[in-house]
């Protein structure tokens, strides 16, 4: 590497023994190639390498506030949809990276604007944002698409997932798999109740990315709502309305194999 400017790479690993072993191996190999590996997260880095499972990837993205620095994952966990590189393929990964043999993919997020009687808050999710009742209580929600009333929902809650999140909680709850490059949100009901009083959709609905999804809890449920973002619970008092949109903000991921998504899908689920 002949550039005077140091090429900095952040390597982030969880505490799993296999992750720590892979971390040490990767640091040694990258250092020999001339890369700089800081001990703490460096905002001037050109790449973030996350070692672990999908949970480690999501925690890293949230911890570093959806940084613009591209990510790539080395899988030492289980499913590994975000973590596509296997530890035994580290040398191939480094060689491809140094040859610029990859493409950068944009990952769409989901944004929730949560309004209470007093103020509003913003949350961002990579996989999904879930609206549920506390203590697993049934919730009653009014659902609107772009201002149009869709349903008076009764059930355990609603998942609003991104395309990359469609294979996570959404899929296990009966939602559809959406290809990551499609700019959509998916609305998936959790244990919907359909009766004369409540007419709830029993299947997921795929919503175009330019439309807004609005959820309003019935007044008696304003203090019984949990908002769960990528597995992390948030609770706000007196929620009156939650608006879900696809924000301008995205994160980036390196893709070294255009067929990886389909291979991943088959190997993880079939």
Give pTM, 2 decimals.
0.92
Q: Which residue in the list 28, 42, 54, 230 is annotated as catalytic?
A: 54
pLDDT at 183: 97
Domain range summary for the chain, segments of one domain joined by +: 9-107+250-269, 110-245
d(CA 170, CA 127): 9
Is the model's pLDDT at 66 over the cut of 60?
yes
Annotate 20-75 with DSSP letters as a single string.
HHHHHHHHHHHHHTT-B--SS--TT-SEEEEEE-HHHHHHHHHHTTT-SS-EEEEE
CATH topology of domain 9-107+250-269: Rossmann fold (3.40.50)
Of 189 and 263, the one with more pLDDT: 189
Annotate 227-254 with DSSP letters as a single string.
EEETTEEEE-SSEEEEEEE--S-EEEEE
pLDDT at 207: 98
Is the model's pLDDT at 79 over the cut of 70?
no
Is the model's pLDDT at 62 over the cut of 80?
yes
pLDDT at 221: 67
Q: Which range (24-28, 167-171, 183-187, 217-221) has the least confidence?
A: 217-221
Q: Which range (44-48, 83-87, 194-198, 237-241) has the least confidence?
A: 194-198
222-237 mean pLDDT:
91
Catalytic-residue membership of 28: no
d(CA 211, CA 209): 6
CATH number for the segment(s) 110-245: 2.60.200.30
pLDDT digits (tens, 9 = 90+) for 114-150: 999 999 999 999 999 999 998 888 999 999 999 999 9
pLDDT digits (tens, 9 = 90+) for 84-118: 888 999 999 999 999 999 999 999 999 999 999 99
């Amino acid at each position: 590497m002949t550039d005077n400017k140091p090429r900095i790479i952040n390597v982030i690993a969880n505490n799993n023994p296999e992750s720590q072993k892979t971390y040490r191996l990767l640091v040694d190999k990258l250092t020999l190639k001339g890369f700089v590996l800081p001990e703490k997260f460096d905002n001037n880095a050109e790449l973030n390498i996350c070692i672990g499972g999908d949970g480690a990837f999501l925690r890293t993205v949230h911890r570093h506030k959806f940084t613009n620095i591209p990510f790539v994952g080395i899988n030492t966990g289980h499913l590994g949809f975000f973590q596509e590189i296997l530890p035994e393929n580290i040398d191939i990964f480094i060689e491809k990276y140094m040859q610029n043999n990859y493409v950068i993919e944009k990952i769409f997020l989901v944004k929730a604007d949560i309004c209470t009687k007093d103020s509003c808050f913003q949350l961002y999710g990579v996989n999904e944002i879930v609206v549920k009742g506390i203590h697993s209580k049934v919730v009653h929600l009014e659902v609107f698409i772009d201002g149009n009333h869709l349903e008076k929902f009764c059930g355990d809650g609603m998942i609003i997932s991104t395309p990359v999140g469609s294979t996570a909680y959404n899929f296990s709850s009966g939602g559809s798999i959406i290809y990551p490059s499609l700019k959509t949100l998916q609305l998936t009901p959790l244990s919907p109740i359909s009766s004369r009083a409540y007419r709830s959709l029993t299947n997921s609905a795929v919503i175009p990315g330019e439309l807004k999804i609005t959820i309003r809890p019935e007044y008696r449920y304003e203090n019984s709502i949990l908002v769960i973002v990528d597995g992390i619970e948030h609770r706000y008092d007196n929620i009156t309305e939650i608006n879900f949109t696809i924000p301008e903000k995205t994160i980036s991921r390196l893709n070294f194999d255009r067929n990886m998504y389909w291979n991943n899908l088959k190997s993880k689920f079939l």
